[in-house]
Structure 1
Amino acid sequence: MAINTSHLSRQDWDQFYRMHSVWLLNLIRHQTGNHHVAQDITQDTFIKAMVLVTAKATTAVRENPRALLKLMAKQLFIDKIRRDVIEQNYWNHLGQLQDELSAHGLEAHVMAIEALSLLSQTLDACGERTRTIFSLYYFDGLKQQEIAQRLNLSITTVKRDLSHCLMQCYKLRHVLA
């Protein structure tokens, strides 16, 4: 039964849907083996057909609607497979990350945070100048002479403060062990 697709009313779409939806659903269900996927793709296919007809590309719908619907359904199914592969890769990657976290363990993570907290407390106890020297030397990579010039201190003071801070860190190391 031919349907005038130059201007489809709601009744025309209803008739078009009733004429072809069961056929398309069965075709897709047979190809995919999944009723829910077939329902989704069938609905998406008819939406795509409506957009196509609305865009005035009506010749294909008029001449061979089932061939057009089948082609659209195939394209949508391929898109779904691609999305499913991407989703599966995402979940696999997420699972690997969880496995890595489990392998390292939450306990190791907590211990690292506790160690950093103790180091921070140790550096705070050394005083601001010593903490600044330690940070410039170990975190910023400055040489002792550069630190002395930047802070307007003698090189001896920089060495003494670094030595004092390292002794405190050494004591902390034995507390953690």
Structure 2
Amino acid sequence: MMSPGYKGCSFAFEELYADYYGWLSRWLIYRVGCSEQAADLAQDTFIRVLRRNEAINIREPRAYLITIAKGLIANAYRRQDIERTFLSALQVIPKSVFPSEEEKYQSLETLLGIERCLQQLDEPVRQAFFLFQLDGLSQNEIATRLNISLSTVKRYISKALLLLP
């Protein structure tokens, strides 16, 4: 069943798409500088809207779509940074142990999954986890550095480890 038009504060997906896809695509081209990437991001934006599977009450469709699109742009830039770093790291690997295309893909997807999980953590939790895993600090050293209790450090690290794949 079709919902009332978006001008009445709720919309039918088809109307929203027809009225705003072109506008959103142009807005995205201006932001990302690539028409193909903008088209992908516009489609992803509308997929997010469609997944709600119900009429959405909105007063400002453009602001609503921009909010979703900005999050997708940020995700795309983070992904590009991770891919670039990953490919740079592969350059130092000897050819004799160089991973296959499938292994590279699986490794990159794992890295992206870890990054998505880490983004869900609050900054202090993420910081404690990095100090523990990357810097190799003991839990006591982390507690001292962050000026928090040892039990808080343990809780933070456990929370991070439980979230990771």
The TM-score normalised by the length of structure 1 is 0.47
Higher Cα radius of gyration: 1
Answer 1 or 2: which has greater helix percent.
Answer: 1
